[in-house]
Chains A and B, each alone.
Chain A
Amino acid sequence: DTGVSQDPRHKITKRGQNVTFRCDPISEHNRLYWYRQTLGQGPEFLTYFQNEAQLEKSRLLSDRFSAERPKGSFSTLEIQRTEQGDSAMYLCASSLSTYSYEQYFGPGTRLTVT
């Protein structure tokens, strides 16, 4: 099993630009989660999908953030009109719904907004 993968690993963008991140979960994992981690803090939940359905979104997920999982496999997280406060590590995790208590994380995408 190849584990959860994320692309890109690093992204530097100018304020006001749009960015999109991709997450490929572990094969056959039907739950996919997005978290955000800022320096010195634990990860904070953003949203999660079961198959293609987005089941929960955090209040942290402003209107500038949108996530999709169109075919129930990979997922994308888009941030529009980036702000410096969006600089963080964006982490993706996946699990099987039957073993939903075992969430496995990818390496993360580090976003720097200048």
Chain B
Amino acid sequence: GEDVEQSLFLSVREGDSSVINCTYTDSSSTYLYWYKQEPGAGLQLLTYIFSNMDMKQDQRLTVLLNKKDKHLSLRIADTQTGDSAIYFCAESVNGGKLIFGQGTTLQVKP
């Protein structure tokens, strides 16, 4: 079956690194995603990784994928107060419908 799980809350200090974790169950997932949602807003696509990759870096964001353990993580370097939001992990098979986790609320303290 399809299921994506995330921890619900993470609090960090400004300037520290944040690591948000996600596990998924569908071994046929082709793409794995991170979306950001700010209060009252839609979802912003941050980054995604193909299942045949182990790592992807994009400016302050680093995505790590452990396909054997079905574990995905998002590292945000030098976390800023503007990074405070809900972060959703999602999976899809061949770029179709997205299956989302519950979301991780990131709180950045000044």
Contacts and interface: CB of A to CB of B under 8 A. Distances in A.
Interface in A41-70: 41-45, 48, 56, 58
Contacts of A33: 97-98
Interface residues of B, number: 23
B7 to A, nearest CB: 13
A91 to B, nearest CB: 6
A84 B4 CA distance: 27
A72 interface: no
Interface in A13-45: 33, 35, 40-45
A45 B99 contact: yes
B42 to A, nearest CB: 4
Interface size class of A (residues with CB under 8 A): 20 to 34
Nearest to B43: A105
Given A42-B88, A95-B95, A102 B45 contact: yes
A44 B92 CA distance: 13
A4 B43 CA distance: 11
A43 B45 contact: no
- Which of B30, B41, B43, B44 neighbours the largest number of chain A CB atoms within 10 Å of its CB? B43
Closest 6 CB pairs of A and B: A42-B100, A100-B95, A101-B95, A45-B97, A105-B42, A105-B43
